[in-house]
Chains A and B, each alone.
Chain A
Amino acid sequence: MHLYLHIPFCKQACHYCDFHFSTSLKQKGPLVDALCREIRLQREYLPSRTLETIYFGGGTPSLLTESELAQLFGTIYDLYTVAPGAEITLEANPDDLAASKLATLRRYVNRLSIGIQTFDEATLRWMNRAHSATEAEACVWLARDAGFDNLSIDLIYGIPNRPTDRWAYDLDRALSLDVPHLSAYALTIEPDTAFGRWEKTGRLTPADDALAAEQFSELTQALKQAGYEHYEISNFAKKGNGSAAHYARHNTAYWQRRPYLGIGPSAHSYNGQSRQYNIANNSRYMKAIEQGELPATVENLTIADQVNDYLLTGLRTQWGCSLTELSALLGADFTRQQASDLADMQRAGWLIMENDTLRLTEAGKLFADRVAATLFVE
């Protein structure tokens, strides 16, 4: 089973980010109390009490103090069995990762996902990141010193208005760190962000999608050459030493339709039949939890929803979608029902159908949403 915890606090707001967070840290203590209460409240949600992955996302979970971590893990260990070899990930910002902090973190978690985004000083400032280019590199070495070998870093490409060589530079710096896992995201301008407002007033013009497409292929080529598996549209993992690659096991659960429980404001949960999500407001979340209520909206999934969810997540991965599984979900022969759309997508050169599996081609990865939507059932 898989447990997610949302830590909705940040020191400052990055200009691109539309996740749920607050920059006022005063409520951090009470919110951690509420998280613990919600963990107890939701203890029946998952079909089993054994956790294979735990993931702290945000916000900025590296803002949690040692006592807050102890409180949260105390609650988790109290209610769940954490499987041996479980993946326990925490999202961290480079500016939080001093040696002492890393030592503390290492006592609770075994994987860090570090939000580096870029190694370029000017771009970091422009995006309102809290760390410097030096910190971006140093934190990885410090993390290794603290005993973290399972590390992931985040990068952003498709950034407008900067010299075109900056992306090659970012890739070069990232590869030199030789981390086992890397995520790279095309910059998306979301309406409720500083960038969104800048776009509206003309202060920012998003990059042409041709630039993002080009940088995506630079990315995939460079990482393939360096020995990474491109196992999901935005995710790359190095082969392990004789063992499986360093896939993000928690995130992979999302793409393989496994149940997960999300704790905290704005967190989503899935149990196979329905999805539900908590209110994205810290004080209302805390108030409801205090009264023993779950401030969640539940969405029951129809057969079509389940098929479509599988298509849109599964196709993004190198494992693709199993036709047998699609047909089983649908209760009808998927291949026959969607024959003409399947043919169209194959003709476009975006999709391959072999060994009972639908998979995107290299070109198809740039059109994953279109392929999925085309194959959607009603």
Chain B
Amino acid sequence: MKHIRNFCIIAHIDHGKSTLADRLLEFTKTVGARDMQAQLLDDMDLERERGITIKSHAIQMNYTYQGETYTLNLIDTPGHVDFSYEVSRSIAACEGALLLVDASQGIEAQTISNLYLAMNNDLVIIPVLNKIDLPGAMPEEVKDEMVDLLGCERDEIIPASGKEGIGVPEILAAIVERIPAPKGNPDGPLQALIFDSVFNSYRGIEVIFRNVNGRIRKGDRVKFMATGKEYFADEIGTLRLDKEPRDVIECGDVGYLISGIKVAKEVKVGDTITHIEQPASKPIQGFEEVKPMVFAGIYPVDTSEFEDLREAMEKLQLNDAALVWEPETSAALGFGFRCGFLGMLHMEIVQERLEREFDMTVITTVPSVRFEVITTRGETLVVSAPAEMPDPSTIDWIEEPFIKAQIISKAEYVGAIMGLCMDKRSILKNQVYLTADRVELQFEMPLAEVVFDFFDKLKTISRGYASLDYEFLGNRESSMVKLDIMLNGDRVDALSAIVHRDKAYEWGKKLCEKLRELLPRQQFEIAIQAAIGQKIIARETVKALRKDVLAKCYGGDISRKRKLLEKQKKGKKRMRQVGNVEIPQEAFMAVLKIN
């Protein structure tokens, strides 16, 4: 056990985590240069393209230092706020962390919150200043920030460049010297922490764990303590570049388990593996069920593709345990699914994977958070879709989820950020200057406001500098209303939204205006109305189409005209009908972009 080191890398998106990891793998000869593909640890194409890690991965390296061979387990962590629980479990599986900071960017919000998480778990922090080779690097300023933040010595910071391979030997030496070996009782009852799982379409789910106490052998009968499910350890082993089967995974080490599990839901990050005979008396602390925070309907653009969509969703769920869904019906959109996501990025990922991996074109409805509605009869209803909102006369009050948001930015953008946050019904709780030029702002804000376009706006007004992290605070009473959109008097359920009463008029007006732009003119006039209950709060009109014929059609016009009309016909096929009004699919998407 004294030759094992378990560590993770804490870094902001783009700060070079994956590139540095690649260099560590190369230097320890875990992979030959021949097998190298940039960002080896990011499996999904989507991750490689976006340059972010969505799913965490683990990999083991051997490293000989001063004549002794060490086993280094690098536990990679996802880099987005949507996946903060997975990050916390990855951190719990480590004794140390590399804090990787971009020498040209400085410390970001995401880094700080994960750093605090690591410090609270008593991880040893090795500060690394990355990208020192870049022309825009400001090593001294960023070092000041790191010293302030960590209370470390200046000379503890290792200058590095993942791209150039600078600092790699120093980092490896520091991992062995500074990070303690794992502690644990090799002869006690088995307690292994599940911190990740990987979907394998041939062999079922691969469970990735950190052995905290005891040892696990091939063929053992094991039980997952939170789900209560029992399995045979058909195969256990070590994660190198490929899986390498072993007969035993010792106390303190990291490994994988394959036991024919088909569905990702059975494998919960944070769960504890123990033996059926001689079980541990209690699980490892810190297990939580991951709860979806954002909800939206997903519908096939082509209504005949509902069954294909169901199949795709089932397959997606096999390796995305956080995705939950149930069938839903909309008068406007037909048959689809109500889905729960960890956050907005997760929602985008699901949408993109449906399109890329399953070739589905989908319409996503207005996202909503989970409200609690307390009725006049004293019941509490959970509402995560506008359609579930009860009649206003039966509502006593409504509570909505609030978050604590931490934003770090250059000082010059503070004014703009404050303005944005105030507009989003936020309360400023704290403002700290990290350096003369960098400010940390803390707000309490409704999650519902973050759901709509907040992150993009924040990035825009700060020219990409501001970073955001948040955690759930709890529910608070808010004055929420259901806003409906009617086309010629018919409610379009897929365009309804739950919004704050103070913002309902603005929302209704903007949405009506947007729809007026997007609805094609039809043979009759279309009245677009926004309503709260029976009360109309905004109206726009699309005038009737009086004529749809081109002036000329001679020898040279025929080809061009046929192509134009074919295109129009295709667009029309994708439209949905509510009452007698045809709605193009862009109209359903537009709701997300009206602010």
Residues on A facing B (Cβ under 8 Å): 4, 185-188, 208-210, 212-213, 216, 233-234, 251, 254-255, 260, 262, 266-270, 275, 277, 299, 305, 308-309, 312-313, 316, 348, 365-370, 372-374, 376
A277 CA to B558 CA, complexed, in Å: 11
Asked if B562 and A212 sit within 8 Å, CB to CB, the answer is: no
Chain B contributes a number of interface residues (CB within 8 A of A) equal to 23
Residues on B facing A (Cβ under 8 Å): 523, 543, 545-556, 558-559, 561-562, 565-566, 568-569, 572
A313 CA to B554 CA, complexed, in Å: 9
Cβ contact of B549, chosen from A233, A266, A299, cutoff 8 A: A233
Question: For B549, what are the chain A residues with a Cβ–Cβ distance below 8 Å?
Answer: 233, 316, 365-370
A365 CA to B558 CA, complexed, in Å: 18
| Whole-angstrom distance between the Cβ of A261 and the nearest chain B Cβ | 10
Asked if A367 and B553 sit within 8 Å, CB to CB, the answer is: no
Asked if A313 and B553 sit within 8 Å, CB to CB, the answer is: yes
Asked if B551 and A277 sit within 8 Å, CB to CB, the answer is: no
Asked if B546 and A212 sit within 8 Å, CB to CB, the answer is: yes
Asked if B553 and A233 sit within 8 Å, CB to CB, the answer is: yes
Cβ contact of B566, chosen from A268, A270, A376, cutoff 8 A: A376
Besides the known contacts A188-B551, A373-B572, 13 further A-B residue pairs in the complex with CB atoms under 8 A apart: A4-B555, A185-B552, A188-B550, A209-B547, A210-B546, A213-B547, A216-B547, A266-B556, A268-B556, A269-B555, A312-B565, A366-B546, A366-B548
Asked if A316 and B553 sit within 8 Å, CB to CB, the answer is: yes
- State the total of A-B contacts with C-beta under 8 angstroms: 93
Question: For B555, what are the chain A residues with a Cβ–Cβ distance below 8 Å?
Answer: 4, 254, 260, 262, 268-270
Question: For A4, what are the chain B residues with a Cβ–Cβ distance below 8 Å?
Answer: 555
Question: For A210, what are the chain B residues with a Cβ–Cβ distance below 8 Å?
Answer: 543, 546
Asked if A309 and B562 sit within 8 Å, CB to CB, the answer is: yes
Cβ contact of A370, chosen from B548, B552, B562, cutoff 8 A: B548
Asked if A312 and B546 sit within 8 Å, CB to CB, the answer is: no
Question: For A313, what are the chain B residues with a Cβ–Cβ distance below 8 Å?
Answer: 553, 558
Asked if B562 and A367 sit within 8 Å, CB to CB, the answer is: no
Question: For A277, what are the chain B residues with a Cβ–Cβ distance below 8 Å?
Answer: 556, 559
A4 CA to B568 CA, complexed, in Å: 30
Sort A-B residue pairs by CB-CB distance and give the 7 closest, nearest first.
Answer: A185-B551, A213-B546, A373-B565, A268-B556, A368-B549, A370-B548, A366-B547
A348 CA to B568 CA, complexed, in Å: 19
Asked if B551 and A312 sit within 8 Å, CB to CB, the answer is: no
A309 CA to B566 CA, complexed, in Å: 11
Question: For B559, what are the chain A residues with a Cβ–Cβ distance below 8 Å?
Answer: 268, 275, 277, 299
| Whole-angstrom distance between the Cβ of A55 and the nearest chain B Cβ | 9
Cβ contact of A312, chosen from B545, B547, B558, cutoff 8 A: B558
Question: For B523, what are the chain A residues with a Cβ–Cβ distance below 8 Å?
Answer: 348, 367
Asked if A312 and B561 sit within 8 Å, CB to CB, the answer is: yes
A228 CA to B566 CA, complexed, in Å: 33
Question: For B548, what are the chain A residues with a Cβ–Cβ distance below 8 Å?
Answer: 366-370
Query: A360 — nearest CB in chain B belongs to which residue?
Result: B549
Asked if A369 and B551 sit within 8 Å, CB to CB, the answer is: no
| Whole-angstrom distance between the Cβ of B571 and the nearest chain A Cβ | 10
Query: B523 — nearest CB in chain A belongs to which residue?
Result: A348
Cβ contact of A367, chosen from B547, B558, B565, B568, cutoff 8 A: B547
Question: For B556, what are the chain A residues with a Cβ–Cβ distance below 8 Å?
Answer: 262, 266-268, 277
| Whole-angstrom distance between the Cβ of A5 and the nearest chain B Cβ | 12
Query: A186 — nearest CB in chain B belongs to which residue?
Result: B551
Question: For A262, what are the chain B residues with a Cβ–Cβ distance below 8 Å?
Answer: 555-556
Question: For A312, what are the chain B residues with a Cβ–Cβ distance below 8 Å?
Answer: 553, 558, 561-562, 565
| Whole-angstrom distance between the Cβ of A185 and the nearest chain B Cβ | 4
Query: A374 — nearest CB in chain B belongs to which residue?
Result: B569
Query: A366 — nearest CB in chain B belongs to which residue?
Result: B547
| Whole-angstrom distance between the Cβ of A368 and the nearest chain B Cβ | 4
| Whole-angstrom distance between the Cβ of A319 and the nearest chain B Cβ | 14
Interchain Cβ contacts under 8 Å between A and B, 28 examples: A185-B552, A187-B551, A188-B550, A234-B553, A251-B554, A260-B555, A262-B555, A266-B556, A268-B555, A268-B559, A269-B555, A275-B558, A275-B559, A305-B562, A308-B565, A312-B561, A316-B549, A366-B549, A367-B547, A367-B549, A369-B548, A369-B550, A369-B565, A369-B568, A373-B569, A373-B572, A376-B565, A376-B569
